[in-house]
Amino acid sequence: MLALVVGLLYLVAGRAVRSQDATGSRFVCNAIPPGAEPGCGYGPTGNRVQSSSPVEDELRNTIIQLRETILQQKETIVSQQGTIKELNSKLARCEAGSRRKEYGKNTMGDLPRDPSETIDQLGKTMQSLKGRLENLEQQSLRLPITNVSTAGVSALTPLPPELRELLRQRLGALETQLLRKVAELEEEKSQLYNETAAHRQRTESALNSLLERITELEKNNNAFKSPEDFKVSLSLRTNYLYGRIKKSLPEMYAFTVCMWLKSSASPGIGTPFSYGVPGQANEIVLIEWGNNPIELLVNDKVAQLPLSVSDGRWHHICITWTTRDGFWEAYQDGERLGTGDNLAPWHPIKPGGVIILGQEQDIVGGRFDATQAFVGELSQFNMWDRVLRPVDIMGLANCSAYMPGNVVPWIDANVEVFGGATKAALEICEDRAFDS
């Protein structure tokens, strides 16, 4: 810069000398006091001498322009240095923030930040810094250069290469830091998503295990207050709602079957239970269908029973039968309402069959008819291989005795339900007896 100023002075002085030589004039060099303008002439005594030479005016104007140019470039350099310091400060804050995050990672006191929000904020910061660099470059293109043409007009020059390179390096380093930070946040977001998915999977697994446990508890013997305190509900007259007793019957020469049931279906309550064996689907059947009374079938032989249970209340019924003369008895709510004989006399009950609750069997274990389906609730289905005494039957009906069947006891584990039939907790015996 100093060499350029000296050259300009030399050029202007040369022109002045040539002009004076042409006219025969001479110049006298005098010492200029400190702080005086170079364009002002001073005499030997230091007093200012007024000069109106056009060459001196041109020289003075040129020097003033050079001084202004130097001041402008100095201000520009100071401004750019401030920008560089600001970029360094931002980079230092980013690095400090990264170190603080590493120190605070995996601590219970740290509050999680939204990775997407942080990435967007860093992206906006990077775009802002790029814009500021572009503005600096555009401003540098408009800065005046230090050399002046012969006419004294300033030309334009780009930003000094060293400064531009320094700015690019700083911005490149900052961009690298930002990209690394974005990558770390993306990785953290991915890890957080994986941890969330794993936590959700563990939660669902725990819920499934709990559901399986609840289902298991509902199916085992502890599902109710006691194994026999449940009922089977058959709410629709269809050919697919039914229950099945897992246990079969041995060969028997007498039996007693007792149960609690409640139904308001009409016409007829349907088939509370049926027992079928190979070759005889109607080995034992209790049925009421159409306008017919309740009937007991043994080996497909029929006896009509004087029972009435379709009033929508709980009723306790018992049926006894013996092969001797085919004698039978019918009890309702502890009272014997009818007897008869000649019902499949001397016929033993065949073993190995299937007991179905709520449906009449046309083949063993199947081919149900919806018109003969039982609609209602039943419970305490027990079966003995002997004829119970009337006092025993009365004790079962009035809740003063508990006597499970020795052939088929009513327990939860011994009863399966299908097609939408359900098991539910049974009302206490006293409530059922009072209802009847």
Question: CA-to-CA distance for 122 and 176, rounded, in angstroms?
Answer: 12
> Is the predicted pLDDT of residue 144 greater than 50, yes or no?
no
> Is the predicted pLDDT of residue 329 greater than 60, yes or no?
yes
Q: Name the band, by pLDDT with cuts 50, 70 and 90, for residue 202.
A: confident
Most confident of 7-21, 200-214, 227-241: 227-241
Residue identified by tokens 């590493």 is 102
Residue 421, sorted as left (phi over 0), alpha (psi -120 to 50) or beta, turns out to be beta
Q: By percentage, how much of the chain surpasses pLDDT 90? A: 36
Whole-number CA gyration radius for the chain? 56
Of 58-62, 103-107, 176-180, 393-397, the least confident: 103-107
Question: CA-to-CA distance for 299 and 326, rounded, in angstroms?
Answer: 11
pLDDT at 276: 95
Average pLDDT value for residue range 41-69 = 64
How much is the pTM?
Answer: 0.50
> Is the predicted pLDDT of residue 29 greater than 70, yes or no?
no
- Residue 330, helix vs strand vs coil: strand
Of 99-113, 219-233, 286-300, 331-345, the least confident: 99-113
> Is the predicted pLDDT of residue 227 greater than 80, yes or no?
no
Of 144-153, 189-198, 234-243, the least confident: 144-153
DSSP string of 38-70, one letter each residue: TTSEE-TTS-EE----HHHHHHHHHHHHHHHHH
Of 18-22, 33-37, 73-77, the least confident: 18-22
- Other CB atoms closer than 10 Å to residue 158's CB: what's the count? 11
To the nearest 10°, report the CA torsion of 63, 67, 69, 71: 180
pLDDT at 390: 95
pLDDT tens per residue, range 244-279: 999 999 999 999 999 999 988 778 889 999 999 999
Q: Report residue 299 CA to chain centroid gap.
A: 60
Of 25-29, 196-200, 364-368, the least confident: 25-29
pLDDT at 216: 66
Average pLDDT value for residue range 280-306 = 92
More confident residue, 311 or 214: 311
pLDDT at 310: 87
Of 38-52, 212-226, 301-315, the least confident: 38-52
More confident residue, 256 or 235: 256
Most confident of 84-93, 210-219, 324-333, 419-428: 324-333
Domains of the chain: 2-102+114-194 (no CATH), 230-435 (2.60.120.200)
Of 120-124, 153-157, 160-164, 214-218, the least confident: 153-157
